[in-house]
Amino acid sequence: MTINIGDTIPNIEFQFREGDTRPEQGTCPMGGKFVTKSSNDIFANKRVIIFSLPGAFTPTCSTHQLPGFDQNFETFKKEGIDEIFVVSVNDAFVMNAWSIDCAIKNIKTIPDGNGEFTSAMGMSVAKSNLGFGQRSWRYAAIINNCKIEKIFEEPGKSDNYEEDPYGETSPENVLSYLQK
């Protein structure tokens, strides 16, 4: 079941990774710790955008969607958005590395490594045809104090869908809705 406008988002616990630094030699960040935050910790008493995508370091996500939301952050704030989050069925290490690699300054990552939030949102799909396993369908939502105000979903949602549609969840489309 897909979550609908007016529904309360599922209260899931996420495992974030904070305080890691990259050693001079080697690529694995270390020295930090896992920090648990719930959906309520992240979304309560705020009006936010969350967008989800099939995976970090994938072409459409890294080239268009993530940078587009990041570059338009101030415009979104003028339209009443407090924060913008990207969630993906990836672990905290991957999400942190992706954010650094893409030089993201304004978007906060949410690691949904177990896919629990994605599943509870009704957005879990098989991407086995691409070797991804269970992932998220591409969607975006405006969440106001833990309730869905508006949801944007790409067409064709199904397991092992051959295409990767992108348009409904673009930052431009979400911004257009907010500016109406």
83-120 core/surface letters (b: 16 or more CB in 10 A; e: else): bbbbbbbbbbbbbbbbbeebebeebbbbbbeebebbbb
Among residues 28, 61, 102, 146, the one annotated as catalytic is 61
61 carries an active-site annotation: yes
Active site (catalytic) residues:
61
